[in-house]
Amino acid sequence: MDTARVIVVEDEPLTCATYAKILAAEGHSVRTASDAFACRAALKAAPADIIVLDLGLPGIDGLTFATELRNGGDVGVIVVTSRADVVTRIAALDEGADDYLVKPVHLGELAARVRSLQRRRTQARGRRCRVGCWTIDLDRRTIAEGDQRAVSVTRGEFDLLAKLIDAGGKIVSREALCEAMSRGDSDSDVRSADALVSRLRRKLAAEPDLIVTAPGFGYRLGPPIEPI
């Protein structure tokens, strides 16, 4: 589950739109900002996992803003800049950047760097996420709503939900869900996936449309998956 909430901070409109498009195509939730002030406003409105940051911004310089981001909370920073000199690269990494790319950047590499950073961040935090109103701990195998007591689910029900989470919101076939639940038992019937989905929907009914049916194929999660 390597999707992330991303803000692209870039003052060149076409470049900004290009980065946003490729990252959105990867399944990330992407917002854009033309400078540090707009990024601040975006972060105030909703948190982000990763900032893709240009250094040559109007107003507050990107290096200064990278320091602010480092001191302000848990957010990853990938610098994408035309400044190729080693001094600036070292300064950016010292000021809180997690990665550094020099323009013109290959869009596939940018997408890979975002995936890699989000994967490292998720592993460092442990595998906890929020899906709608539910907080799910994939290591402890618990599902809870806020501070309330954990919901009791079977092993198969949790394995099915974990498979949907790992898919990052993409559709998972009934066969793949059945394999995840049975842990390799080839005799398991795909109809058992439908039965467990029905049970999970009843148990987790506090979140409407938690599990969405893809007719003729399988299921996906409805709400966004937010790493914690």
Instruction: Give pLDDT tens digits for 212-221.
Output: 999 988 999 9
Task: Strands of 104-147 (E only): list them.
Answer: 128-131, 134-137, 142-145
In this structure, how many other beta carbons lie within 10 angstroms of the beta carbon of residue 120? 14
pLDDT at 2: 67
Is pLDDT above 70 for 1? no
Spans of all domains in the chain? 5-125, 128-227
Distance of CA 69 to the CA centre of its chain: 18
pLDDT at 167: 85
> 221 has which bridge partners?
211
| From 15-24, 36-45, 101-110, 178-187, the region with the lowest mean pLDDT | 178-187
Q: In what order do the strands lie in the sheet with 134-137?
A: 142-145, 134-137, 128-131, 225-227
| From 16-30, 78-92, 117-131, 179-193, the region with the lowest mean pLDDT | 179-193
User: In this structure, which topology does domain 5-125 adopt according to CATH?
Assistant: Rossmann fold (3.40.50)
Q: How far apart are CA 80 and CA 110, in angstroms?
A: 9
99-102 and 50-53 strand pairing: unpaired
pLDDT at 123: 67
Is pLDDT above 80 for 127? no
- Map residue 143 onto helix, strand or coil: strand
Instruction: Tell me if the domain spanning 128-227 has CATH number 1.10.10.10.
Output: yes
Structure tokens at 225: 């998956």
Structure tokens at 117: 């950073």
184 confidence band (pLDDT: 50, 70, 90): very low
**Element (H or E) spanning 173, and its range?**
strand 172-173
Beta-carbon contacts of residue 38 (< 8 Å; ≥ 6 apart): 9
Q: How far apart are CA 73 and CA 143, in angstroms?
A: 26
Asked if the domains 5-125 and 128-227 are classified in one and the same CATH topology, the answer is: no
149 confidence band (pLDDT: 50, 70, 90): confident
